[in-house]
Structure 1
């Protein structure tokens, strides 16, 4: 199926496009709200500024896809592969990214407020100035991620991996750090509340 066929079928009311192959397809600025693209191949596809609100993208392959300013709010991306994807300024509010791979993805200025990021792989991801407030990050892998200026207030980071992550002017107020190894991290330039991080631990980390 090519792009024209998909758009024609979608316009006619069809929503089920599971396992479709759209490698390198250009779907920028199109409205595909509520579409079912489970297990679809969207490797290197261009979806910039597209509307994918509420879309089903379970186990979809979006490796190196362009999702700049894409609306993925409330989408289902469980087990999706977004390795090295461009998600700059993407709307990912209330998205379900449980066990998804965002390895080395670019999420600068992305909105991940109240997203389910449990068990997600964000190793090496660029999260500078992203909004993750209220997100569920239990068990997430943030090894080497850049969180400069990011808002992580009221997030659940229990059991997360933060080894070599970069924290600078990061909002860490009211964060759940249960069972998190903070050894070697410099949080001295971050916003940290007593409720989320005991003052003695904070002094030892910085």
Structure 2
């Protein structure tokens, strides 16, 4: 089935497109809201500026796909493969990304507010702000997620749950390109998180819960820790 046929069937009311193969095709500026694309092969597909909100993409392969500006709000991407995908400026509000593979994916300026990224792989992922938008990870569930070496400079992680997350050598320090701001982890939960050798220069961790966290070798220069619960359980004044 080609792109034209899919859009024709969708317009006629069809929503089941499971296991469909659409490698390296152009699907920009299209609407497939509520479609079922689970297990679809969408590798290297160009889906920029499209509306895929409420779409089911469970276990879909979107490796190296161009998804800039796509709307995936409340979409289901459980166990989806987004390895090296470009999600710059994407709308991922309340999106389910549990156990998704986002290794080396670009999420610059993406809105992930309320998304569920528990147990997902974000190794070497780029979550820096775009030229006009700070990456929003507020209230995101990142329990057990692997963010090793991820670039989180200036990302907003307020109230995020990062319990047991791996942030080894992650960069959460300040960036000149974004008004010298660092990551905001106000009231974030980081119980048992691995922050070894992470760059937390000037990061905001006010009232964050770091109980049991590993801060071995972490850069804590100018880090704001007022009211934070430290690894040993004491409250930082």
The verdict on a shared fold, with TM-score over 0.5 as the criterion, is yes
Alignment of 1:9-158 (within 5 A): 15-114=30-129, 115-153=135-173, 154-158=182-186
Report the equivalent of 2:191: 163
Q: Deviations over 1:4-47 (max 9, x none)?
A: 44478995876111001101000000111101000000000000
Higher-Rg member (1/2): 2
Q: How far apart are the structure 1 equivalents of 2:231 and 2:29?
A: 57
Q: How far apart are the structure 1 equivalents of 2:149 and 2:158?
A: 20
Q: 1:202 Cα shift? A: 7.6
Change in Cα spacing, 1:159 to 1:11, as seen in structure 2 (3 Å) is same
Q: 1:3 Cα shift? A: 6.6
Quick check: 1:3–1:22 contact (8 Å CA) kept in 2?
no
Q: How far apart are the structure 1 equivalents of 2:36 and 2:208?
A: 40
Q: How far apart are the structure 2 equivalents of 1:133 and 1:194?
A: 15
The runs of 5 or more residues in structure 1 that have no matched partner are none
Q: Deviations over 1:147-171 (max 9, x none)?
A: 0010111000001000010111100
Alignment of 1:191-202 (within 5 A): 191-197=219-225
After the TM superposition, list the runs of 4 or more consecutive aligned residues in structure 1 that deviate by more than 6 angstroms.
7-10, 201-205
Cα RMSD of the aligned pairs, angstroms, is: 2.4
Q: How far apart are the structure 1 equivalents of 2:39 and 2:103?
A: 19
Q: How far apart are the structure 1 equivalents of 2:225 and 2:27?
A: 54
Change in Cα spacing, 1:3 to 1:28, as seen in structure 2 (3 Å) is farther
SS at match of 1:68: coil
Q: How far apart are the structure 2 equivalents of 1:99 and 1:13?
A: 25
Give me the TM-score of the superposition, normalised by structure 1.
0.90
Q: How far apart are the structure 2 equivalents of 1:159 and 1:184?
A: 16
Which sits farther off after the overlay, 145-154 or 188-197? 188-197
Alignment of 1:168-183 (within 5 A): 168-183=196-211
Question: Matched residue pairs, number?
Answer: 203
The runs of 5 or more residues in structure 2 that have no matched partner are 11-24, 130-134, 174-181
